[in-house]
Amino acid sequence: MELRHLFVISILWQLSAACMNKCTCSPDSRGRNSVICKEGGYVGPLNLEGIDRNTEVLIISAPENNMNSLTMVPAFTELGRLEEIHITRSNIPQLGDRFFHALGNLSVLNLSQNNITQVIDRNFIGLVKLKELFLDDNSIVSLPSGTFSALKELRVLSIQRNRINELVHSVFLHVKQLRVVKLSGNPLRELHIEAFRDVRELRSLECRGCALTDMNKQIHPSLSHLNHLDLGDNHLRYIEKEDFQNLRSLKYLKLDGNKLTHLKEYTFSHLSELRKLNLAKNAITSVSVSAVENVNNLTELDLSYNQIVALKSNVFDSIVENLLILNLNGNPIDLSLMKFLLKKLKLRELRLRQCGIFVINENVFSSTLISLDLSKNYLTALDGNVLPDSLYYLDLSYNKFKGIANADLLDTIENINVTLLEGNPWSCDLCFIVPMINRVNRSAIFRNIICSQPYVVEGKKLESLDRNQLSWCTSGAYTTGANFFSITEHSSIGIIAAGMSVCLLFFILLSVFGMICYSKRHAAKYYTHEDKLANTQDSIFENQSPLFCDDRELSFKFPLDANVNEKKVAIATIDEIKKEHKIMNIVQIEGV
């Protein structure tokens, strides 16, 4: 055992001793000798001196802030055991003739993310076993006829995000084993029939973002074995049923990101083997009843982010038994018009994310449903019988729930394996959260709820709160009467607060009433004493107020000033008059 360890250490030491500067040398996951150089900063001709001749995998790359600047030279003469070469982020401008002629065992060549402007057939002479060629993210403008003719065993060709504007005649000449072609991100505008005559065994064609405006029906007879076609993110406006009539082996079709508005009758009726159909991000408003007629093997349909309000209840009758996944995300769906369709389908997964849904009535979803996405809608409540018992996954995140009061709904949620509730404006007060906080100890779903209001508990998890810490309602009355009684049964604080508020209001009203009555009784009155003024000097003021407590009364007359011709007017309140009387009585007594 110790000898084996010593042997392994010796081998690793030999590898590290023969390693290039700023590189690491070690076996990969398959046990192949690998040299990895990712620090960047290499400038000039590719220099592989000192690299171990038994190296099987060579990786040269660079970080974004320290890119390489290499030029290709015949540096692989002594490295005949190489199986994979990955030289990326190195600004290679071009490939020389026969630079790879000694690499008879090479199966993967990755020259992506460089600055290659042209490739020709002589660049690949000697690569007789090459199966995968990647030239993505370069600056290639054109591909001459027979460019890859030396690559007899080539299976995968990826030339994505270059500047190729045309596929010329016989570009794939002698590459009969080719199975996958990726052309996405090139401004092709059109696919010519002559370009694909030599690749009749092609299984996958990707041409996303190629500015295509029309389907070329003529190329399809050459691609009768095609099972994967990606034409997403183009400018297709119409699809006719003849467009796919020769693609009877097609299993996966992507037409997302185009400009389709309507799916006509029998559009896909020739695609009897189709499994997945992606029509997302178009402008589709309606689907003809027979659009997917005879597409009996369709299991997944993506109609997300279109403009569909409703679909006819019989639109999917021909695929009702096999359709398992329906994606309607981002459509302005009216569920009241869709309930018969959704109930009829035997779906396993339904996606209704961001559909502007406010209310969901019962008996909408199929009893076969396992996964349901209702996120980013406007739901504030759900009845307990809305969700089928078969659910395994439920997404209610980013709706408008402040609390969940329905006991049946809470029971259903607890029995679902995966439930997402984050992003709702949970109101952690006595009006909304009590039924949920009662279940915190037995369910992790409720423990991780984050409170949005009131501000004193904002950002806290529900599991960190005790019911005694909950404040009175922060808004509106509770949603149901049953929940209100639930609160009053368990919240003496709320009852006391409500009682004190009523009593305080009563005393305030009583005080206001008393003040009004008092002010009326003690209001100021004004007297001019006109009746007590004489017209002549004989006029007197007569005081008949009793001075003693018996029946005797004293009466005095006070002559007015004869020299005064004007009348004097006195203004006084009742209390001042009484006070004046008392003073007069005292004066009378002193005079006696």
Q: Which residue has the tokens 């049923």?
A: 241
Helix%, strand%, coil% for the chain, nearest 5:
25, 15, 65
Contact yes or no for 391/372 (Cβ under 8 A): yes
367, with CB counted inside 10 A (0-12, 13-18, 19+), is: exposed
Q: Please tell me the predicted confidence (pLDDT) of residue 573.
A: 57
What's 121's DSSP letter? Answer: G
Three-state DSSP state, 493 = helix
pLDDT, tens digit only, all 592 positions of the chain: 444 443 443 354 344 446 878 899 999 999 999 999 999 999 999 999 889 999 999 999 999 999 999 999 999 999 999 999 999 999 999 998 889 999 999 999 999 999 999 999 999 999 999 999 999 999 999 999 999 999 999 999 999 999 999 999 999 999 999 999 999 999 999 998 888 999 999 999 999 999 999 888 777 788 999 999 999 999 999 998 888 888 999 999 999 999 999 999 999 999 999 999 999 999 999 999 999 999 999 999 999 999 999 999 999 999 999 999 999 999 999 999 998 999 999 999 999 999 999 999 888 999 999 999 999 999 999 988 899 999 999 999 999 999 998 888 999 999 999 999 999 999 988 888 888 888 887 888 888 899 998 888 888 888 888 777 787 775 543 444 434 433 444 444 455 656 777 778 877 888 877 777 766 665 545 444 545 444 444 444 444 444 444 444 444 444 444 444 444 545 555 565 555 555 555 444 444 4
Looking at residue 245, its pLDDT comes to 87
CA geometry: angle at 254 spanning 153 and 348, to 5°? 115
pLDDT at 82: 97
Tokens of 296: 């009996």
**Rounded Cα–Cα distance for residues 96 and 101 (Å):** 11
Query: What does 361-396 look like in DSSP terms, one character per residue?
Result: -SS-S-TT--EEE--SS------TTSS-TT-SEEE-
The pLDDT value given to residue 22: 84
For the residues of 529-554, what is the DSSP string, one character each?
A: -GGG--SSTT-EEE-----SSSS---
- The helix/strand/coil state of 196 is helix
Kindly provide the b/e burial profile for residues 119-131, where b requires at least 16 CB atoms within 10 angstroms of the residue's own CB. Answer: bebebbebbeebb
Q: Is residue 106 classed as helix, strand or coil in its secondary structure?
A: coil
Cα-flanking dihedrals φ and ψ of residue 394, to 5°?
-135, 130
In terms of Cβ atoms closer than 10 Å to its own Cβ (0-12, 13-18, 19+), residue 384 is: middle
pTM equals: 0.76
So what's the pLDDT on residue 50? Answer: 82
* Amino acid 537: pLDDT: 45
Cis preceding-peptide flag for 388 (omega within 30 of 0): no
pLDDT for 5 equals 44
CB 180 within 8 A of CB 201: no
Question: CA-to-CA distance for 404 and 464, rounded, in angstroms?
Answer: 18
Q: What is the spatial distance between Cα 161 and Cα 178, in angstroms, rounded to a whole number?
A: 20
Residue 526: per-residue pLDDT: 47
